[in-house]
Each structure stands twice: as C-alpha cells, then as structure tokens.
Amino acid sequence: MTRLKAVVCGTTFGQFYLAALHRLPGEFEPVGIVARGSSRSAAVAARAGVPLYTSVDELPGDVDVACVVVRSGAMGGPGSELAEQLLTRGVNVLQEQPVHHGDLAACYRAARVGGATYRLGDLYVHLSAVQRFVAAARVLLEHRAAAYIDAACSMQVAFPLLHILGAALGGVLRPWQISAVGNDTGLALLHGEIGGVPLTLRVQNEVDPDDPDNHLHFLHRITIGTSSGGLTLTDTHGPVLWNPRLHIPAGVRDAFDFDADHLSADASSIVGPAGTASYRELLSAEWPTAIGADLLALREQVLGQSDRPEQYHLALSRMWHDLTNSLGYPVLRPGQAHEPLPVELLTAEVR
C-alpha cells in the first residue's frame, strides 16, 4: 500500500487533522507542520514528533499531501493563497471549508498547472449522525416528495449546512434562491428554496471577535417534511428523529374508535442509536475519524480511484456566497462566557 507523506498547515484546527493522519498509519505518514513558528506551534510539532516549517519554501521535495487548515481568503486568512502555492509545486491539497468559489476555481487551475489534486474538506458531512440522517432522508424521498425544509445553524457552519442538505437531497441543488427576512438581533431568518423545496433557515449571525469558534447556539438542526411526516437531525451529533404526521381518522371523529392501524405508530421514533457520545469523545475520536474520510477520498483521487467532485463543490460554494451575502456582516458579541449547566439540574424534578 502506498503511504503518502503529509504535512499540516495550521496548528489550531490543524491538530484535528494531525489526529486524523495518525489514525491512518497505513495510508499516510505525517512529516511536518507548516505554521508561523509560535511557541504553541512548536509544541504541537513536538507532540506530533514532526519538524516545524515556517514557509512552503522550506518543505522537502517529497511531500505528497498538504492539509491546509488555515482560514481561507473568504474568512480573512491566507489559506487559499497557501493552497495555490502548494498546488503549483505539485503538492496535493486538502483544504478545510469554507472557500470562496473564486478561490476554489483558482485552486483547481493551480492544481492543473502543478499536476496535483485539490479537494475541499468538510468533516461535518461525514459524522455518524449526519450520515444516518442523509441515508434516511434519501430513503424517505424515494417514497415521498419533500414538502419543506426547516433548518438552523450558526454562520460559522453555514457551508456544511448546505453540504448536508445537498447530500440529503441526493445532490440536487437547483433551483436555489435565498433571501433574508430579518437580521436585526443576530438571529437571522431567511426564506428560499433548495432543489425546488421550500426552505426556511434561521442563522445565528453573531460572533465573539475574541473567541470566534465558540458560543454557537446551533451547529446544525434540520427537518425535512413530507406528507407522511418529518425527519429531523436534532443536532449535528444526533439523534435523528422520525415524527409521523398526525392524522385523526373518521372512526375517531364518528365513534371515538382508535383501532386504525396507523395510530399504533409511535409519535416520535429515534432513527439509529438513542444516545449521543460526550463532547470529549466526539472531539477526540469522531471528528478525526470524519476528517479521515476526506483524507481517504483525497488519497483515492490522487491514485485515480475516485470521482472528482469539483463542480458540485463549486456549486455549494456559490450557494454559500449567496447565503452569506444575504446575511450581511455578523453582529459582534465580545466578552462571551462559557456557562455549562448539568443535565441533572433539568432532570431532577422530571417524572
């Protein structure tokens, strides 16, 4: 089996990519970190047992893969420029979402120039609860047409929301349109359609400038409604619920008779496992495993063994651009605090 030599660019979220590489020792060999050279980056490199490089020019010539986990140009960072530099050198790149569609196109061009492969990474679509939701949604939509989609997310994870919706709809994205109804308080309401299905979307469009990756009211919450009921991803990490639509038969109205077969169905059913893992387990194990799915897809693409999703990812990126344009600038909420609350407080008096 061919082991690809890999470096990780960025040491904040990049640590999750390092963990993913270490989980795939037969496919990848971590050989370095590219970062600015801070003491924290040096410590990350030391823990990983790999050298720290402070520029692409310092990399050895035998690097096969670079994971670019630095904010892209659309988010005010140098990630897209870094990806282009690597691609023109012939290094295959997996870049963490979101990426502006113009930068995506530039990276695809750079990949052709360098004879390399470029792929967009998005761990969320590979999480186990999301995979269950997508699989169940596809079965549901084989039997019933979607009547509506109701969804919620935070602006930091808006691209993955569109990615999840696209997967649930079988890759059907058009017709697509979105517009904001209100965005005065940091919780924006948008209406539109995706794949021809009416869409209502709530987005937490606010951020703590000193802690931008935290304080999210939602990750992803999605309901696909049909004439038979609604399938709901209650959170990115589950559970997934099926709620049959209530139908009161004539026998109940006329004779108070409850023998109709469909009344025996549970009002709400869990699709898949009932519980969810702790955040410790999710962050330390499931997230690196999900990133590993993108790494393996890139590897297969490099070896010529998989499809090329360029046009699909470009379409998603254009949709994300439409969505963020409709949202406008986020409301700044500096000084947010983490306020955990034990579930036992809620369940103590529940019978």
What's residue 1's pLDDT?
57
What's residue 16's pLDDT?
98
What's the count of helices (H) and strands (E) in the chain, helices before strands? 11, 16
Q: How far is CA 232 from CA 224, 256, 329, in A?
A: 7, 31, 29
What's residue 115's pLDDT?
97
Burial tier of 310 (Cβ tally within 10 Å: 0-12, 13-18, 19+): middle
> For the chain, how many residues are written?
351
What's residue 276's pLDDT?
85
Peptide bond into 51 cis (omega under 30): no
Domains of the chain, by residue range, sit at 4-121, 125-278
Q: Give the model confidence (pLDDT) of 180-225 as tens digits.
A: 997 778 999 999 999 999 999 999 999 999 999 999 999 999 999 9
Tokens 């140098």 belong to residue: 78
Domain 4-121 has CATH 3.40.1380.20: no
Fold match between domain 4-121 and domain 125-278 = no
Q: Which residues, listed in sequence order, are joined to residue 190 by a DSSP beta bridge?
A: 180, 201
CATH class of 125-278: alpha beta
CB 241 within 8 A of CB 234: yes
CB 32 within 8 A of CB 307: no
What's residue 173's pLDDT?
95
Q: Which residues, listed in sequence order, are joined to residue 204 by a DSSP beta bridge?
A: 154, 187
Determine phi and psi for 158, rounding to 5 degrees: -70, -40
Judge if pTM exceeds 0.85.
Answer: yes
pLDDT of the chain, 351 residues: tens digit per residue: 589 999 999 999 999 999 999 999 999 999 999 999 899 999 999 999 999 999 999 999 999 999 999 988 767 789 999 999 999 999 999 999 999 999 999 999 999 999 999 999 999 999 999 999 999 999 999 999 999 999 999 999 999 999 999 999 999 999 999 999 977 789 999 999 999 999 999 999 999 999 999 999 999 999 999 999 999 999 999 999 999 999 999 999 999 999 999 999 999 999 998 888 999 999 999 999 999 999 999 999 999 887 789 999 999 999 999 999 999 999 999 999 999 999 999 999 887
Q: Give the model confidence (pLDDT) of 216-270 as tens digits.
A: 999 999 999 999 999 999 999 999 999 999 999 999 999 999 999 999 999 999 9
